[in-house]
Amino acid sequence: MTNIVPFILDGLIVAGYFAILALSLNMEYGYSGLINFGKAAFFALGAYASAILTTNGYPAFLGVIVAMIVAGLGGLVISIPAIRVRSDYLAIITLVFAETIRVILKNESWIAGGVLGIRGIPPLIDLRNVSYETHLIIQAFIVITLFTIFALVGWLLTNSPFGRILRAIREDELASSVYGKNNIFAKAVVFGLGSSIAGAAGSFYAQYIGFVSPDLFMLAITLQIWIMSILGGPATIMGSLVGALVVISINRGTRLLKDFLNLPLDTNNLMFILTGALLIIVVIFKPTGILKEGRVESVRRR
């Protein structure tokens, strides 16, 4: 294999984990209309919960389960006051929650190492005796499997009667409540489930890169996930994957462009320029995203 192949495989793996995060956001925003600007917090809760357990000798699989529980409970706790307010206040509350979690992890070193974070996180599968290329192939298989499982869960949920309640809340919350639907319960469930999926992504991502630190979960991560969701198409399952592949491809592609073309721009600046330009084009010409929400048949009255 050439040097470019591991680079591409690593990009695909990272895109897979971010696709899971975008999928969890799509379930909250795309199908339910909940504006969650704290996605990085639940990503961090899952990563840190798993890292603390696995570095203390507990099995990696147990770390994943605990990560999902911790992140899911965190989502339920923040949803109790947050989902009762208007969408703009919900965005502010979740944003403040995310920054609070990051600041605590950064300054309270007794919790998880402070700014240094946690290193030496063992992976789900011991791959020390295989080559780096084989390691990446196995990791790619793991992330594809994970996305497939969570995509199936999302598809079953959003195409169920509960999914129709979520769409009704998104379109007209007042009308949904008039028809006797428990909007608070439905929003709490989808918020908790989306947070739990983000926690699982955090756990597996931490096991893949082998360390966690507060700088990995800054606001920029949440904004990146939002861009992926909007580009791919809100309220679409595969749109999460498409959006993640597009954004990560731009991210990795700008590095190659700088090396081959010797551009004077910083790679991060070039990435933001290209991503922003693409986002503007998509919003103008395809406001529903690259993929469009599938048509949901209404219930026929007899």
Task: Kindly tell me if the per-residue pLDDT of 70 is higher than 90.
Answer: yes
Q: For the residues of 39-75, what is the DSSP string, one character each?
A: HHHHHHHHHHHHHHHHTTT--HHHHHHHHHHHHHHHH
Looking at per-residue pLDDT, the higher value among 300 and 19 belongs to 19
Tens digit of each residue's pLDDT (9 = 90 or more) over 117-136: 999 998 888 777 788 888 89
Residue 17 CA to residue 104 CA, distance in Å, equals: 24
Task: Kindly tell me if the per-residue pLDDT of 103 is higher than 60.
Answer: yes
pTM of the prediction? 0.91
Q: What CA dihedral angle connects 219, 223, 226 and 231, to 10 degrees?
A: -160
Q: Which residues face 119 on adjacent strands?
A: 211
Q: Which two tokens stand for residue 248?
A: 């990560």
Task: Kindly tell me if the per-residue pLDDT of 91 is higher than 90.
Answer: no
Of the candidates 193, 176, 202, the residue with the CA atom closest to the CA atom of residue 26? 193
Question: Residue 118 phi/psi, 5° resolution?
Answer: -125, 130
Q: What confidence score (pLDDT) does residue 1 get?
A: 44
Q: Find the radius of gyration of the CA atoms of the chain.
A: 20
The strand ranges marked E within the chain are 118-119, 211-212
Q: What confidence score (pLDDT) does residue 295 get?
A: 53
Residue 237 CA to residue 103 CA, distance in Å, equals: 32
Task: Kindly tell me if the per-residue pLDDT of 266 is higher than 90.
Answer: no
Of the candidates 59, 228, 64, the residue with the CA atom closest to the CA atom of residue 149? 64
Q: What confidence score (pLDDT) does residue 52 get?
A: 93
Mean pLDDT for 74-101 is 83
Mean pLDDT of the chain: 87
Q: What confidence score (pLDDT) does residue 261 get?
A: 66
Of the candidates 289, 293, 284, the residue with the CA atom closest to the CA atom of residue 243? 289
Of the candidate ranges 169-173, 193-197, 257-261, 287-291, the one whose mean pLDDT is the lowest: 257-261
Task: Kindly tell me if the per-residue pLDDT of 296 is higher than 50.
Answer: no
User: What stretch of H or E contains 118?
Assistant: strand 118-119
Bridge-based pairing of strands 211-212 and 118-119 is antiparallel
Task: Kindly tell me if the per-residue pLDDT of 94 is higher than 60.
Answer: yes
Tens digit of each residue's pLDDT (9 = 90 or more) over 213-223: 998 998 889 99
Contact 94, 36 (CB under 8 A): yes
Q: For the residues of 218-251, what is the DSSP string, one character each?
A: SHHHHHHHHHHHHHH-TT-HHHHHHHHHHHHHHH
Q: What confidence score (pLDDT) does residue 4 get?
A: 81
Local confidence band at 64 (pLDDT 50, 70, 90 cut-offs): very high
Contact 103, 115 (CB under 8 A): no
Residue 225 CA to residue 246 CA, distance in Å, equals: 12
Looking at per-residue pLDDT, the higher value among 264 and 186 belongs to 186
Task: Kindly tell me if the per-residue pLDDT of 51 is higher than 70.
Answer: yes
Task: Kindly tell me if the per-residue pLDDT of 263 is higher than 70.
Answer: no
Of the candidate ranges 50-54, 221-225, 260-264, 289-293, the one whose mean pLDDT is the lowest: 260-264
Residue 206 makes CB contacts below 8 A (sequence gap 6+) with 46, 47, 48, 50, 51, 121, 212
